[in-house]
Structure 1
């Protein structure tokens, strides 16, 4: 039985996520009308590289604050914040040094100018207050939710205004910097800013590094596993197709990100705070997990069945190939959702190494299969390879959960069968109602991809 408090938290998490993603979707659609597809391709590379550089020194500042029993004490979070500031300065310098080599690798003169300017974001995120993580530890879900919606609204206004003023790549670059500046400033008002001090405690540094070494390994592998397709495609396919693929990936990632958000803000802290014997943990969460995944299977199956209609409704003909890409990518989200839940359990019991192993399994599949399929069978086959990549992540995590007595294989197999059945049924019903295209027409949407 779900408690009233938990139901309220889920409502705030899901509601704020829905509002934030709605604003981002609105922004994306408006920008797609104002800007050329190749600009999204360039920005996809920039954002992917920015995330990769950021993970070069990730020691899990947020995870440390949430998981450590002293995480909400000033000495601990001020030490974590100081490490974060130093890291931001380090990443800023790294980005400046890598600008020319990266521009040469991707054969793009624009990147020589864009990357040094974008690197300012590292300084801004470095000084951002750790208030969000403190609130997450205290499970102050409502405050975090309202903050996220505020930032999403500000970002939408800034990006659209800049694109109307200057429909070039610089609207996207400046929009990111301005939105990040506002987010960093606003973070100091979540909790009394007078509590923050530059401080280094040897005891807390040791604890942060000890916990963070596996978070670092997991983060690097996670980044490569999540973004290998973008990095590889950026070198192998035209920027216009890359930009269209980026839009399809944005939609397909939304559901997985919602589950990841619930896992990070609710499952991880609750498992970490579980004071009873480990053997009692699985029975305590099994029923809630089943109910959550049943609801997810029902909702996601409808979304998969209707996903191409979303692209055709919101975007013009320049983006029609995304209507073919999205159902394939969206179907693979199911394994991403299962993996994210498993990851939250493993982090909650302090086993962050399993997350790194799972992401490595996914990365290994992508590194081997994507280049081979793209070379010999084309982009459509590569899309299918990418869609099932999280299956390998899930298998690795399932094995780890089994060793820890937290396996849900029977439950997951039954739910997977239900999900696949529902997708087929919904698609057939929608076809009969004339809401979605038949199979032949859907294949025509993807004709631009390999042709």
Structure 2
């Protein structure tokens, strides 16, 4: 039976192309709107607050995000993936584990804040770590981790069923409320606490609206040892993968920061911002739409390969097309949007855009998670981490800053042979589609040349 015939037999209410396109549309539009709101919030707040306020908040957010990622148990993913993920006892057990994790995270952050308070006087006065407000900011932000621990499992169930409209709306409502809180607070007291209040407000609004608006039963304290064991077994490999992922995504700035100036780091950050925006967009669609769709296809015995490639077509069009576009027009984009101080970011953007080709295969890890076998992601995560950890310092030492950035663009491609092999072993390989979808680079490159010509012709 052909893939087309198999796809046509999928339940229309579960895996129809229309349903998946609708879910993807909500996620994409929600993310795009969220980015616009973040940009607007940033522009407004930078005019109301001093720069050092953002420095304190940025460091505090790095600590919070790091603690969250490094203790990821995959509770939400367990609900989406498990065959019993819609059972009341399973959901209540997951909720109890989530609350316990939130409390543990808050304790870790408060412990770090206490250590900073105790050793703060011994740090350089110019260091943001020595700012007297940072420990207090961390402690208050820790409360948002406790609040988030009580988040209803209704959100994971809605994600499992691809009901993305309400989830996206709730995310945007939380952002808007946080934005308004920051503006009102900063109007009366222009200090870092305006930013802190916005973060805590977002957590409260998100949890409250999910509890009141999403369908489903309210969680209560209930424990099932068997379900807890299933979540822990699934989550231990999510934790290991998240640990390596956190290093690969953030280690570049940690390693480069040891050898380059603040000016060079600022220029590099401009290029990273553009590439990260593309990656965040695709990651949102993969995590919130492709993952639950694959999980349900495997649970119900449907053609998961057809579901996988149904997503690969638009994602490859986006990723390969933008890779071709940025490789050709990256320097012109930077020259057009920024002044000459940032001109070097154009070449960095060209280098980093090449590495985006490796993002085409991120769905393989989600396929393993959908099977309930996240440990199969470890060869990918380990190989990527080894290449990164050994290669970046060597490139920086031998070829300098430009050589290091070139390596950051090239090394994701070095993981592709392993990814293709694992795709073949998993039964996901369709050679004609892999080759055909790569051709999307060509219209992207053509659009890049057209952009360069248009800028030169109309702007000069």
Q: State whether TM-score is above 0.5.
A: yes
1:389 Cα deviation (Å)?
4.1
1:83 Cα deviation (Å)?
0.6
C-alpha distance in structure 1 between counterparts of 2:210 and 2:344, whole Å: 39
Alignment of 1:208-247 (within 5 A): 208-237=231-260, 242=265, 245-246=268-269
1:177 Cα deviation (Å)?
3.1
1:108 Cα deviation (Å)?
2.7
Aligned to 2:450, which of 429, 433, 449?
Answer: 429
1:6 Cα deviation (Å)?
2.5
Aligned to 2:229, which of 195, 203, 206?
Answer: 206
C-alpha distance in structure 1 between counterparts of 2:338 and 2:174, whole Å: 25
Name the counterpart of 2:372. 350
Aligned to 1:60, which of 74, 87, 93?
Answer: 74
Name the counterpart of 1:109. 130
Mark the structure with the bigger radius of gyration: 2
Alignment of 1:49-448 (within 5 A): 49-99=63-113, 100=115, 108-110=129-131, 111-159=134-182, 170-191=193-214, 195-237=218-260, 242=265, 245-246=268-269, 248-274=271-297, 280-283=303-306, 285-286=308-309, 289-298=312-321, 301-302=324-325, 325-336=348-359, 338-408=360-430, 411-416=433-438, 418-419=440-441, 421-434=442-455
- CA RMSD in angstroms comes to 3.8
Contact persistence 1:40–1:243 (CA under 8 A): no
Q: Secondary structure at the match of 2:212?
A: coil
1:188 Cα deviation (Å)?
1.9
Gaps of 5+ in 1: 442-451
Gaps of 5+ in 2: 5-15
1:82 Cα deviation (Å)?
0.9
TM-score for both structures, normalised by structure 1: 0.81
Contact persistence 1:245–1:325 (CA under 8 A): yes
Counterparts in 2 of 1:48 and 1:230: CA distance versus 1, 3 Å:
farther
TM-score for both structures, normalised by structure 2: 0.80
Q: Secondary structure at the match of 2:455?
A: coil
C-alpha distance in structure 1 between counterparts of 2:333 and 2:39, whole Å: 11
1:89 Cα deviation (Å)?
1.0
Contact persistence 2:351–2:410 (CA under 8 A): no
